[in-house]
Amino acid sequence: MRVAVVGSGYVGLVTGACLAETGNDVICADIDARKVERLRQNDIPIYEPGLEEIVRRNQAEGRLSFTTDVGQAVEASKVVFIAVGTPPGEDGSADLQHVLAVARTVGRHLTDHKIVVTKSTVPVGTAEKVRAAIKAETTGAFSVCSNPEFLKEGAAIDDFMKPDRIVVGVDTPEAREAMAELYAPFVRTGNPVLFMDIPSAEVTKYAANAMLATRISFMNSIAMFCEKVGADVNDVRKGIGTDKRIGTAFLFPGPGYGGSCFPKDVKALIRTGREVGQGFDILEAVEEVNERQKLVVFEKLKAAMGGDLKGRTVGLWGLAFKAETDDVRESPALTLCEKLLEHGARVQAHDPKAMETTRAVLGDRIVYVHDPYSAAHGADALAIVTEWLVYRNPDFDRLKGLLKRPLLVDGRNLYDPARLRAKGFEYHGIGRRLT
């Protein structure tokens, strides 16, 4: 099938590459000429495991191409995915200007019947706005559908190629048939394509991310409660996670959620709820808990150092909001850096992939080091913020020798408190027993 994907960011690039991998002829269009030229050279502007290999292979075999000519890409394709950004506005609402600009371009270049798919995360009602924007530019025939993405950064290729489910909102037989054909290779093992009406598909995306964010904030609240009553959140997590009604996913306490999806989508759902007179008190609480949780590692460091961080050096392991990505948007690590700098501390940080993306935000206000142990060298404390595999089993004896003071704040509960204390560390986790 001939497919255009407009927008070559995280979602658009993964979508285009994976659709090309299953034999479709895919054109990825983006108005950023520099990005397009980099992609033509197989220079991937984001880190996502496995993505570069798929892009390289499908370009070489002629199924995947990149262009700045959005109109030409639309004309050449049967299915057009809109995968541009929807950043949050100051009021928390999703900014649809880029989505609607693409819709108008589609309308101006509608040469035959197209299936126009909103892949960007958009609030309920957006498909109708897209339809109206296209209609304003053409009298030609087209179908609009909603196909929200459920990709986890760091595992996006597997998520796309082996999805739990595919959600598609349609209102014409043509759209249903085309989308069923396009996604057939991904559901051969029996996982479903869930066809539904368009508003339900649009709500499903926000509801899914809001539920996952809620689980994270709930578990972080339980962790803080455990500290106050002498319980261990790791045991509590196992105790509730083995209940089949609850399950184990997204029950790991930590320094709060970040990234491009959860914070933005929770805000957008709250905002949309207000617009239709439906309060989301539970999501407002989720957001409040998360903002507090982002300060937990800082507060533990500050308390352990007697309230005075001025002139202290803090080593930091992890800058990305999660492992296996270079994305630092809304990262708890950046919040921690800002608070430490504000209180006069010096920060020396390591991350396997996110140092350049961090530098674009923080500049040279912190020190970037190229191996984990250098981050600990001469530091008054070490904080773990991102759960990269390289941090899972370090040489603790070497680490203790490098630190000025063997103070370790484990924001991801990677280590056994008893083992660390036996080695002479002053260890602080999230919701772990103090003794």
Spatial contact of 146 and 168, defined as CB atoms under 8 Å apart: yes
User: What gap in Å lies between CA 77 and CA 219, rounded to an integer?
Assistant: 46
Is residue 261 flagged as an active site residue? yes
Q: Please tell me the number of Cα atoms within 13 Å of 259 on its side-chain side.
A: 20
User: What gap in Å lies between CA 206 and CA 213, rounded to an integer?
Assistant: 10
User: Which of 18, 145, 226, 261 is the catalytic position?
Assistant: 261
| DSSP-assigned beta bridge partners for residue 409 | 383, 428
Q: Residue 191's CB: how many other CB atoms inside 10 A?
A: 13
User: Chain-centre distance of CA 163, in angstroms?
Assistant: 17
What burial letters (b/e) apply to 112-136, b meaning 16+ CB within 10 Å? eebbbbbbbbbbbebbebbbebbee
- Please name which of 218, 183, 235, 178 lies closest in space to residue 22, comparing C-alpha atoms: 183
Spatial contact of 280 and 211, defined as CB atoms under 8 Å apart: no
User: What gap in Å lies between CA 124 and CA 207, rounded to an integer?
Assistant: 11
Spatial contact of 313 and 389, defined as CB atoms under 8 Å apart: no
Catalytic residues: 261
